[in-house]
Amino acid sequence: MSGQHTTNKISTLISGNVIITDNQSIAEAFGKYFQQKTESPMNNQITKLLSKDTGGLNMPFILNELKYALSSTKYASSTGTDDIPSAFLKYLFSDSFDRLIELFNKV
């Protein structure tokens, strides 16, 4: 991997009792973990709340809003109920932001 913060690369991950060393499998393990987090009862309550008519609150996010919000977060801020650190989102590859916008706009 290349980028601004390459010294923090995860070379080995233990998931359950399995040691994972290749980048693709590490990424898939993270994806599976965070997918389970999004299926929590708390997120179901949020989805029900947002499905009500809330006017402008249901407007889709745009890329500039996401980049601004991430640029204003502190590097060492606490995670939310999804356990995703802000630094994880802040330093995504640029093409990942489009996927993140799609995800946010589906909720």
Q: Which residues contact 1 (CB under 8 A, 6 or more apart)?
A: 9, 23
Measured between alpha carbons, how far is 60 from 80 in angstroms, rounded to an integer?
A: 21
| Helices vs strands, H then E, count in the chain | 5, 2
The reported pTM is: 0.44
Structural tokens at position 90? 């802040």
List pLDDT tens digits, range 48-85.
Answer: 665 555 566 667 888 888 888 888 887 777 777 878 88
Measured between alpha carbons, how far is 67 from 73 in angstroms, rounded to an integer?
A: 10
Structural tokens at position 96? 């990942």
**Which amino acid would we find at residue 56?**
G
Which helix (DSSP H) or strand (DSSP E) does residue 36 occupy?
Answer: helix 23-38
Contact (CB, 8 A) for 58 and 70? no
Mean residue pLDDT of the chain comes to 76
